[in-house]
Amino acid sequence: MNHFLGYRRPDGKVGVRNHLAIFSCSIYANRVVAATSAAVPQAVPIMHQLGVGQYGADLAQTIHALIGMGLNPNIGACLIVFMGNESEDLLTIGHHVARAGKPVETVNIMAAGGTTSAIDEACRAANQLALELSSCKREPCQMAELVVGLECGGSDFTSGLASNPTLGNVADRLVLAGGTAILSETTELIGAEHILARRAISPDVAQRLVEIVERYEARVQATGFDMRGANPSPGNISGGLTTIEEKSLGCVVKGGTTPLTEVVDYADIVIGPGLVVMDTPGNDVESVTGMVAGGAQIVLFTTGRGTPTGNPLAPVIKVTGNSLTARTMATNMDVDVSGIITGIETIEEAGSRLYRFLEEVASGRMVKAEAHGNRELAIHRIGMTV
């Protein structure tokens, strides 16, 4: 059908969910955020361990990611909670979200008189925001308005043979419809970056891709570890993978066959359309968080071994090509494409099925990570705590 029913936001972007997000500016605000989110059914907590003891580029990245998440179109309104002694730059999050036309309220824990009073104040504000959101209605939207993150975790030999090529097929369909697909996990491009670089729309984009891979590899080598010829994950080894290069070849096929249009830094807002690479770590939760901060409304996540993680803002669709995982972790897997391995389904057929499922999720169908309450979030760090 090549369309879905979404929530049109004041800035013109489209959400597939209508969340009231309760944000912690810093770890000090997490208790108030957790209590408020538990008391207001529509609310989702955006909590993290950062916001204090950070400086320079590391603090800037945390703020950048939080602002990006606030601007994600799956959020209809925000409540920002802060302790009162954080960096002034952290307090700008609400201003950025408000400029996008979304309702925003703030709660200062110190000014409120402590945790108990702040929870009461936050609950009152959140309930009012929830009432405002209740009038939002879904309307027909084009698939071209979707930004979809592509992720793999707990990879095994079936990932590169079945589930990742299926994601590549869906990515191609989305891009051809005018949408945007984000390929992530820079560490899992190592050894295959030259293959992807051949598809870049310009020498500058190709060079940018090579640069982020070399930069990340240099950071890892500085710790005394060489990733080439090795494999950092015991689960990958148990799943039949032998080297990072083999894993990278499987990772690259998630991006399909369309030209690489852009390479962006972690949590940068993705403009699109087309295939975009975001510089993220291989850590699943940090990578998904970066793509959601970049504007991804949905994440397609392949797993051979059965990774259950989700995200508080974006539905994370779990796809497996492993028939055993599909059976033993059926309560976590959304789409089983193991028929590709056994020969009863082609990649094209599996791609058609997954694309239809993507349309349904964009229109409101719940995925299993959402049903289980998997709301993992972690912002990637680039510096030390002081």
Dihedral pair phi/psi, residue 102, rounded to 5°: -90, 145
Helix, strand, or coil here: 3?
A: strand
| Average pLDDT score over residue span 48-54 | 92
**Nearby residues of 106 by Cβ (< 8 Å), 6 or more positions away:** 79, 80, 81, 82, 94
For residue 240, pLDDT over 60 is answered with: no
Distance from C-alpha of 362 to C-alpha of 4, rounded to nearest angstrom: 6
| 171 against 246, higher pLDDT | 171
Token reading at 122: 């936050």
Poorest-confidence range of 53-62, 207-216, 217-226, 336-345? 217-226
This prediction's pTM? 0.94
Q: In what order do the strands lie in the sheet with 43-46?
A: 43-46, 19-24, 75-82, 104-108
When the pLDDT of each residue in the chain is averaged and rounded to a whole number, the result is: 92
Quote the CA–CA distance of 324 and 335 in Å, as a whole number: 13
Q: Which residues pair with 5 in a beta bridge?
A: 140
Q: What token pair was written down for 193?
A: 């970056």
| pLDDT tens, residue by residue, 155-167 | 788 888 899 999 9
Given a cut of 90, is residue 384 above it in pLDDT?
no
Arithmetic mean of pLDDT, 1-23: 95
Of 68-82, 236-250, 280-294, give the lowest mean pLDDT range.
236-250
The most distant pair of C-alpha atoms in the chain lies apart, rounded to whole Å, by 64
What is the distance of C-alpha 191 from the center of its chain? 24
- Which DSSP symbol is given to 200? B
C-alpha separations of 97 from 26, 92, 136, 307, 353 in Å: 17, 9, 18, 32, 36
Which band of pLDDT confidence, cut at 50, 70 and 90, is reported for residue 251?
confident
pLDDT score for 243: 62
Q: Which amino acid is at 133?
A: L
Give per-residue pLDDT as tens, 57-116. Answer: 999 999 999 999 999 999 999 999 999 988 888 888 999 999 999 999 999 999 999 999
Element (H, E) at 183: strand 180-183
